[in-house]
Structure 1
Amino acid sequence: MRNTQLHKLLLGDVSNSISVVTSFLQILFQSIPFFVGFIVLEFAVSWIQKRKLSGRINDGISSLSLGILSRLPDVLFRSLDLISYVYVWDNYRLFELHWHSPCTWYLTFLGVDFAYYWFHRISHEVNILWAAHQIHHSSEDYNLFTALRQSVLQRYTSWMFNLPMALFIPPSVFAVHLQFNLLYQFWIHTEVITNLGPLEFILNTPSHHRVHHGRNPYCIDKNYGGALIIWDRIFGTFEAEDAKVVYGLTHPVNSFEPILLQLRPLAHIWNMFWATPGFCNKLSVLFKGPGWGPGKPRLGLPEEIPVITGKEVPYNPSVPAYLNCYAVIHFAVIMDLYIDLLATVTMLSQGTILLRTGVMILSLTSFGLLMENRPKAGILEIIRCLIFLGIYKLGYLRSEFSFLDYSYEVLFSLCIAFWVIQTLKRSTSCTDKHD
């Protein structure tokens, strides 16, 4: 593993504090093979345990698409989390804890997790913050793909919770623990691990986090911890896994389109804000819980949470098998380009970065429409493949693996021909029905 950036952070290299931001992005890039490896391992264990895979292709691609979208701002702008932290450290720190002291590392571990607990809890209890965070809860599956299902906007609400630590904890130590806390939470998104015995009392485990992702009434607003579950036990938000957990939102979104999933919660709040009478009530729409309404408690009425009947069926539109294969292959292409973008971002012009991110966003949107078998998905695929092929030939897109260059040209040329034929067939079929 290429760990130069992590090595710098562990050595407390803050001679140029802003370099911590670049280091953070590089560590994320270097973690991708581990994400992939654990996902493959989860599939294997799930097959051995239950003779079925842990998830669905459509939901998995949707989660990965949301994960890529959530990280694209990092290649365009500096991380607000780290930029704000470094700014407070450089200008307002009260004293400096030594980076090489074990006490500093233990304190930072607790501090980062404590800050995450309160950020996470408030993100569930304040509607405008829930609009961002609920994307992570919108999957009706629970697997390692779900861990990568993140909001673009959430990073712009979490940064302030860490700032008190910037008064005395070096950015290098903070960045390592922020990354560790993020990586720790990846493995707890799984059903293949049941109970970890005595560790369940201290650590946040898959069992505890399954409860957090449930839409059963007993699961709502429980188990907010990141790496530790002790905060939930202290502050009264702990709930042990009991009845079978049904995952997702209490009112499912029923879509795999990543842009729609990001924006629909904001549109809902916008409509509620203008439909609710009274200035104070309008503020309550923003700053009280998502279940609030005029005359209700701050977090809404528990009895209004939909009861689980056991007959809940995940949103799963029927699509031909070839379409699933097509989506997997083309998502792998976009993943290849995303990895190359992370690896070369410091060497690219802003225009090239914008062009590449635009192609990725268009592609991920198109995949969502394909997974829902939308009528216009074929036309969008023709446009997407033409744009991709043109930009690729001009050299603005490149693969992390040079031997694939010619293969991509052949693949996208064939796909354009395929979708033109499919669109003409659909058009002819519609004309015949109309006649």
Structure 2
Amino acid sequence: MGSFAGQSEITVSQGIRMMFYVLHPNETSFKTLEEVPDYVDKATIYFIIMLTLEMIVSWAWKGHTIRINDGLASLFAGVMSRLPDVAFRGTEIVSYIYVWKHYRIIELPWDSPWTWWLSYLGVDFAYYWFHRLAHEVNIFWAGHQAHHSSEDYNLTTALRQSVIQKYFSWIFYWPMAFFIPPSVFAVHIQFNLIYQFWIHTEFINKLGPLELILNTPSHHRVHHGRNPYCIDSNYGGTLIIWDRIFGTFVPEKEKVIYGLTHPINTFDPFHVQIQHCIHIWNTFWETPGFFNKMSVIFKGPGWGPGKPRLGLPEEIPQVTGEEKPYNPQLPLHLQLYAVMHFLLMIAVYIHMFEAKLILTPITLLVRTGYILLTLTSLGFILEKRPKAAFLETSRCLLFLLLQKYSYMTTDFPYLLLISEVIFSLCIAVWGLKALKDVITQSKKQE
């Protein structure tokens, strides 16, 4: 999702309706792209409120809350997916503007409700085909698989986005640029994304007649399932009609087991993002023959020599309903530690986006590097990796060093003072742990 220059305020009513795509053309039509609000940014507070409500309902209804490790891994992916937007406007918008400026055939009126509704349908139709090919073409799946890697299904899963997916999705929206103004497209590409947040939940059952037209939590649960009956189905963004038309609709039946057919068993943010790229690379070189190598890239993830394009359905691993998600046991205090440091990092992350026009390129680069280091280090802690103590000690030292040279300024000066105390204590604790690990390892080698 790219950034937009528009800073128009939206009312609470508009904010709530925005989450469900229930806004009128008159209140979301703009003449220029610069006037279009950054709706995704303005939706952040509503994401947080809905996440909090889901956690409360989960605790009150099921007696437990969202798994911290899996939930954080999803948030890690969400943060990583937006980091390129600090320096670059979204590929979807940039490419769309280029086609519009150079190749448009006609210019539909930006303030017409007909243009608004045509854009709504066009974005969702293009999304269906992009999403479908993201599952059916291996190189596209390499980007999209990150979103499906969670073995839980809740609102944090909606935020588990891919870093690389956005660099091929833009192709599917190009035809609209021949006649739909960029300002209209920019509204709907955001709303289509925002709508898909609330459908990532298990707490909303079927919605009656709406199930015939809209993509709903029930339909999307199937899409995220690894049960054989769930594979390659329900690709719609806001509408389910495309799946019904093109034969990819599957209703929810028995209990859905979530995640990839071959779970990756990691919370390492980089591994979550690129593990399938590595798999394709290795498979490409191991597969004999030029055309077979090309098939590794452009046919389905389940393809192999002698198999149909999308692989053999009987090779999809069966599920029993008793599968246990990857869940390394971590003491509660370390889980809370990971949450606290993630929130401290988010303060830096939010300020970076808000102030990116006045921050120097070197500051943006340094902060981006620190954020990536934080996500990696917290991932190591969640997995109890052997190098976690050393990496966390280094991260905390780096934070204090960057703060000393004014790379970590925020709108909350007291937060920096509190952070200085917290990080100093963390260096002492993790430093001792790292030293102990070194001594233990040395004794083992003797």
TM exceeds 0.5? Answer: yes
Question: Which shifted more, 392-401 or 374-383?
Answer: 392-401
Percent identity between the two aligned chains: 58
Distance 1:291 1:353 in 2: 40
Partner of 1:33: 45
Q: Given the alignment of the two structures, is residue 43 of structure 1 paired with residue 61 of structure 2, yes or no? A: no
State whether residues 12 and 172 of structure 1, in contact with CA within 8 Å, keep that contact through their aligned partners in structure 2. Answer: yes
Q: Given the alignment of the two structures, is residue 81 of structure 1 paired with residue 92 of structure 2, yes or no? A: yes
2:260 pairs with one of 235, 241, 249: 249
Matches within 5 A, 1:338-349: 338-349=349-360
C-alpha offsets along residues 90-136 of structure 1, whole Å, 9 cap, x if unaligned? 12111111111111111111000000000000000000000110000
Partner of 2:21: none
- Amino acid aligned to 1:191: E
Distance 1:415 1:407 in 2: 12
C-alpha offsets along residues 66-96 of structure 1, whole Å, 9 cap, x if unaligned? 0010000111222110001011111211111
Q: Given the alignment of the two structures, is residue 178 of structure 1 paired with residue 181 of structure 2, yes or no? A: no
1:429 offset after TM fit, Å? Answer: 3.9
2:400 pairs with one of 389, 396, 401: 389
Partner of 2:17: none
1:113 pairs with one of 89, 103, 124: 124
1:146 pairs with one of 152, 157, 169: 157
Distance 1:350 1:108 in 2: 36
C-alpha offsets along residues 255-287 of structure 1, whole Å, 9 cap, x if unaligned? 100111112111100111111111111110000
Distance 2:127 2:441 in 1: 53
1:182 offset after TM fit, Å? Answer: 0.3
Partner of 1:156: 167
Question: Unaligned regions of 5+ residues in structure 1, if any?
Answer: none
CA RMSD of aligned residues (A): 1.8
Distance 1:401 1:31 in 2: 22
State whether residues 210 and 245 of structure 1, in contact with CA within 8 Å, keep that contact through their aligned partners in structure 2. Answer: yes
Distance 2:284 2:434 in 1: 41
Q: Given the alignment of the two structures, is residue 52 of structure 1 paired with residue 64 of structure 2, yes or no? A: yes
Matches within 5 A, 1:363-374: 363-374=374-385
Distance 1:83 1:432 in 2: 57
Q: Secondary structure at the match of 2:330?
A: coil
Question: Which shifted more, 72-81 or 222-231?
Answer: 72-81
1:399 offset after TM fit, Å? Answer: 2.8
1:394 offset after TM fit, Å? Answer: 1.2
Distance 1:306 1:386 in 2: 45
Partner of 1:4: 7
Q: Given the alignment of the two structures, is residue 198 of structure 1 paired with residue 201 of structure 2, yes or no? A: no
Question: Which shifted more, 283-292 or 394-403?
Answer: 394-403
1:433 offset after TM fit, Å? Answer: 5.5
State whether residues 132 and 154 of structure 1, in contact with CA within 8 Å, keep that contact through their aligned partners in structure 2. Answer: yes
Q: Given the alignment of the two structures, is residue 266 of structure 1 paired with residue 269 of structure 2, yes or no? A: no
Distance 1:230 1:243 in 2: 22
Go from structure 1 to structure 2 and tell me whether the alpha carbon gap of 1:249 and 1:11 turns closer, same or farther (over 3 Å shift). closer
TM-score, normalised to structure 1's length? 0.95
Q: Given the alignment of the two structures, is residue 313 of structure 1 paired with residue 324 of structure 2, yes or no? A: yes
State whether residues 39 and 191 of structure 2, in contact with CA within 8 Å, keep that contact through their aligned partners in structure 1. Answer: no
1:3 offset after TM fit, Å? Answer: 7.5
Kindly tell me the number of residue pairs found equivalent between the two proteins. Answer: 427
Partner of 2:364: 353
- Amino acid aligned to 1:13: K
Distance 1:267 1:337 in 2: 31
1:194 offset after TM fit, Å? Answer: 1.0
- Amino acid aligned to 1:274: W
State whether residues 337 and 400 of structure 1, in contact with CA within 8 Å, keep that contact through their aligned partners in structure 2. Answer: no
State whether residues 347 and 410 of structure 2, in contact with CA within 8 Å, keep that contact through their aligned partners in structure 1. Answer: yes
Partner of 2:16: none
Question: Which shifted more, 400-409 or 263-272?
Answer: 400-409
1:13 pairs with one of 19, 22, 31: 31
1:422 offset after TM fit, Å? Answer: 1.5
State whether residues 9 and 172 of structure 1, in contact with CA within 8 Å, keep that contact through their aligned partners in structure 2. Answer: no
